[in-house]
Amino acid sequence: MASVTGFRLPHFLELNSHSRPQYRFRVHNSAGTGGDPAVLSSDLTVVNGDSNSGVRKRELQINHGNGRLKPEVEDKKKNNKLVKDDVEESLEPSWDDGYGTETVKDYFDAVEDMIKPDGGPPRWFSPISCGRPLKDAPILLFLPGMDGTGMGLTLHHKALGKFFEVRCLHIPVYDRTPFEELVKFVEETVRLEHASSPKKPIYLVGDSFGGCLSLAVASRNRSIDLVLILVNPATSFGRSQLQPFFPILEAMPDALHPTVPYLLGYIMGDPTKMAMVNVETKLPPIQRYEKMSQNLTALLPYLGSLADIIPRDTLLWKLKLLKSAAAYANSRLHAVKAEVLILASGKDNMVPSKEEAERLKKSLLNCTVRHFKENGHTFLLEDGISLMTIIKGTSKYRRSWRHNFVSDFLPPSRTEIDYAFEQVVGLLRIGTSSLAYSTLEDGKIVKGLAGVPSEGPVLLVGYHNLMGLELYPLVEEFLREKNVVIRGVAHPQLFVADSGSSSPEFSMNDWFRVFGSVPVTPSNLFRLLSSKSHVLLYPGGAREALHCKGEAYKLFWPTQPEFVRMAARFGATIVPFGAVGEDDLVELVLDYNDLQKIPVLNDYIRELNRNAVKVRDGSDEEINREDLFIPGLLPKIPGRYYYLFGKPIYTRGREESLKNRENANEMYLQIKSEVENCLAYLLEKRENDPYRNVIDRTIYKAVYGSSKDVPGFDP
């Protein structure tokens, strides 16, 4: 027989008649021994195990959005139109992901009522804070760690809820369902979801113990398209640093158990990282420290509630459950065909997550690893990069069987923009204090991006500075002034898994993906232009970005005008531009020719490029050389970056004429000439900038305020 029970919910998970159905349970008996599944009807309110309507035994309804039930077959046609009209299809850049609005304190508040005994079995719920996802969003099933509450994604609900149908598994405190029965419970949901939407992937986010559960389910369902995101998976529980402590725990008197949660609180996570979740990075250091101290002081009393979340008997049961879960998952790793992403913390005092991630990577067929050296075992409740950002940066978000760099792209949120330009490239941003100019239709040059069309498709074509240093201020300028994401087409080697690193952290390559970079291929350029994007193209590619001494601001463009013909096919507007400033930031001391003369390094470069992805055909060795390497650079006292966007060149209405190769080549040479003119203009005009030097800009900000933009030369 199936059983239906409920628990008293925190206010943001509760149902009411005005906002139904905000969440629902699908519950089987905890033994999983059969019986018809029972579903709470869409108008059911659950409070302390009582309901205001009966339970209908019928075929399982599937969630259609975070908290919305899929319409019945007989009402499907009528309701589908309402659903289509009501669901967003996309988001604008700088959307609010809610990161920092919920903290660990909210986690403890949420589970306070959930942990009260209700006699019920494991069940699914959808948090109201997840909201309604975008159209065609895949489902995400969260499998919790030792706490079993299912609220481990509290900090990430709003962001994940935009792009996934989020459901969380709740395992009641006093539930004693064996591991294999939990596997069957999750497995049944996975199979039903697959039957409902066979072309969509199903995401399993497994935290610690949930990681073992995810691997077990994947090993038994090899034909289903699963994406596993394993956060410090407990598959290494047998090698836990706490193994000597467990026998002592079993013999510990009940009177001493309340002290255990405080110990576990510090072992499993970093309280200071938890306290930093809602502390703004823009604050001065003293204010950040004060805010963190206040949060930490407010957080400490909550650690005692861990004794209620995991009572002594439950803790001993969970340790046995972890042991069986790790053994079960490890014995079936060879059968896992799913796509796997492992997030491993460097300060995990519960299990050796860093070493385990590398072991699993060798054992699994399709596995990507990201290390986070400053985080503890409770990664999802600590300050840092949000889970949604990690999914985007590793190209794991998809709506079908394969990731599409264009159709699966999700614009950066306000949190991602702030984090990237303050924490990742903050020093470069402060040091360069870039200025952008553009050219209007009448040929007048003005400060800002007014001359660049806001409506796509737009193809920005320019000169690639040394090591691509001009990219970061350029991307930020378009986001700040026009709220437009420019989609850069980059060297494919940047998208090769882990870029050759055995222990990769979340790196600059991942941030490129977050902000919309795609591998440079004709098909990707086709898709971007057809989607009316603002596309950033460097015809000189790696040859310009890794140029030699004496080649600064020299174009190395191929002879074929193919991008012109592609742009004309979609009536795209081409905007040539120049960027100047690399020689004011760094001194090139060892170029490609110098490195080739050093015995050890030339072998390393040769080996590095042996299997590297090639973009050009190599017909012209001088133009098409694209060996990848890291040049020797010395920093200078920073100057400034300058951008000039030339007069837009329209292809709309010229589609037929530009099919002719001669006409296309004529436009190609015009674009190249415009880029060279932009570079020459900036090199000349920057000499008239009184604030070209960082010292002068620092003095200006000290006098007029740090929030005031530093002026530059008059165009």
Give the CATH number of the domain where residue 303 resides: 3.40.50.1820
Least confident of 307-311, 477-481, 510-514, 684-688: 307-311
The pLDDT score that the predictor gives to residue 83 is 47
- Reported as half-sphere exposure (CB side, CA atoms, 13 A), residue 277 has a value of 26
The pLDDT score that the predictor gives to residue 303 is 64
Residue 388 and residue 457 in one domain: no
Residue 337 and residue 460 in one domain: no
Residue 375 and residue 454 in one domain: no
Tens-digit pLDDT profile for residues 653-703: 998 999 999 999 999 999 999 999 999 999 999 999 999 999 999 999 899
633 pLDDT above the threshold of 80: yes
Please tell me the distance from the alpha carbon of residue 319 to that of residue 76, in angstroms, as a whole number: 46
- Cβ contact 213:183 at 8 Å: yes
Please tell me the distance from the alpha carbon of residue 306 to that of residue 318, in angstroms, as a whole number: 14
Give the CATH number of the domain where residue 573 resides: 3.40.1130
Stretch 17-30: mean pLDDT: 35
Residue 382 and residue 429 in one domain: no
Residue 117 and residue 203 in one domain: yes
Residue 511 and residue 462 in one domain: yes
- Cβ contact 645:438 at 8 Å: yes
Mean pLDDT, rounded, of the chain: 83
3-state secondary structure 166-178: EEEEECCCCCCCC
Cite the DSSP H helix spans in 166-259.
Answer: 179-196, 209-220, 245-251
- Containing 490, the helix (H) or strand (E) segment is strand 486-490
Residue 346 and residue 485 in one domain: no
Return the DSSP state at 9: P
59 exposure class (CB count in 10 Å sphere: 0-12, 13-18, 19+): exposed
Greater confidence (295 vs 88) lies with 88
The pLDDT score that the predictor gives to residue 488 is 96
Tens-digit pLDDT profile for residues 148-185: 999 999 999 999 999 999 999 999 999 999 999 999 99
Residue 376 and residue 459 in one domain: no
Count of helix runs (H) and strand runs (E) in the chain: 25, 22
The pLDDT score that the predictor gives to residue 31 is 37
Greater confidence (270 vs 639) lies with 639
Domain-embedded: residue 323: yes
Stretch 561-587: mean pLDDT: 95
Taking phi first (over 0 means left), then psi (-120 to 50 degrees means alpha), and beta for anything else, what does residue 385 get? beta
Return the DSSP state at 330: H
Q: If we measure between CA atoms, which residue out of 580, 578, 602, 581 comes closest to residue 591? A: 602
Please tell me the distance from the alpha carbon of residue 387 to that of residue 379, in angstroms, as a whole number: 10
Tens-digit pLDDT profile for residues 88-131: 788 999 999 998 888 888 888 888 878 888 878 999 999 999 99
Residue 515 and residue 571 in one domain: yes
Greater confidence (224 vs 35) lies with 224
Return the DSSP state at 245: H
- Cβ contact 101:278 at 8 Å: yes
30 pLDDT above the threshold of 50: no
The pLDDT score that the predictor gives to residue 77 is 45
| The pairing of beta strand 435-439 with beta strand 445-447 | antiparallel
Please tell me the distance from the alpha carbon of residue 567 to that of residue 526, in angstroms, as a whole number: 9
Please tell me the distance from the alpha carbon of residue 299 to that of residue 265, in angstroms, as a whole number: 11
Least confident of 202-211, 275-284, 355-364, 469-478: 275-284
Q: What is the DSSP string of 49-62?
A: TEESS--B--SPP-
Indicate the pLDDT class of residue 617, thresholds 50, 70 and 90: low
| The pairing of beta strand 486-490 with beta strand 534-537 | parallel
Please tell me the distance from the alpha carbon of residue 694 to that of residue 683, in angstroms, as a whole number: 17
Q: Is the dihedral of CA 506, 138, 421, 537 positive or negative?
A: positive
- Containing 632, the helix (H) or strand (E) segment is strand 632-635
Stretch 128-151: mean pLDDT: 94
Indicate the pLDDT class of residue 299, thresholds 50, 70 and 90: low
Q: In which domain, by residue range, is 456 found? A: 414-589+629-704
Greater confidence (457 vs 504) lies with 457
Instruction: Determine the distance from the C-alpha atom of residue 52 to the mean position of all C-alpha atoms in its chain, rounded to a whole number.
Output: 41
- In the listed set 366, 394, 422, which residue is the last one of a domain according to the structure? 394
Domain-embedded: residue 166: yes
Tens-digit pLDDT profile for residues 202-233: 999 999 999 999 999 999 999 999 999 999 99
CB atoms inside a 10 Å sphere around CB 126: 23
- In the listed set 359, 394, 429, which residue is the last one of a domain according to the structure? 394
What is the percentage of the chain residues whose pLDDT exceeds 90?
60
Domain-embedded: residue 2: no
Tens-digit pLDDT profile for residues 378-431: 999 988 899 999 999 999 999 999 999 999 999 999 999 999 998 899 888 888
- Containing 573, the helix (H) or strand (E) segment is strand 573-580
Please tell me the distance from the alpha carbon of residue 300 to that of residue 262, in angstroms, as a whole number: 9
Indicate the pLDDT class of residue 432, thresholds 50, 70 and 90: confident
Coil vs helix vs strand at 35: coil
Residue type, 300: L
Domain-embedded: residue 438: yes
Q: In the chain, how many domains are there?
A: 2
Stretch 435-441: mean pLDDT: 96
Greater confidence (515 vs 620) lies with 515
Domain-embedded: residue 31: no
Residue type, 267: I
Please tell me the distance from the alpha carbon of residue 269 to that of residue 372, in angstroms, as a whole number: 13
- In the listed set 333, 360, 394, which residue is the last one of a domain according to the structure? 394
Indicate the pLDDT class of residue 613, thresholds 50, 70 and 90: confident
Residue 430 and residue 359 in one domain: no
Angle between helices 179-196 and 209-220 (to 10 degrees): 60
Domain-embedded: residue 385: yes
Residue 380 and residue 446 in one domain: no
Residue 269 and residue 418 in one domain: no
Residue type, 303: L
The pLDDT score that the predictor gives to residue 614 is 79
Domain-embedded: residue 578: yes
What is the percentage of the chain residues whose pLDDT exceeds 70?
79
Domain-embedded: residue 621: no
Return the DSSP state at 305: G
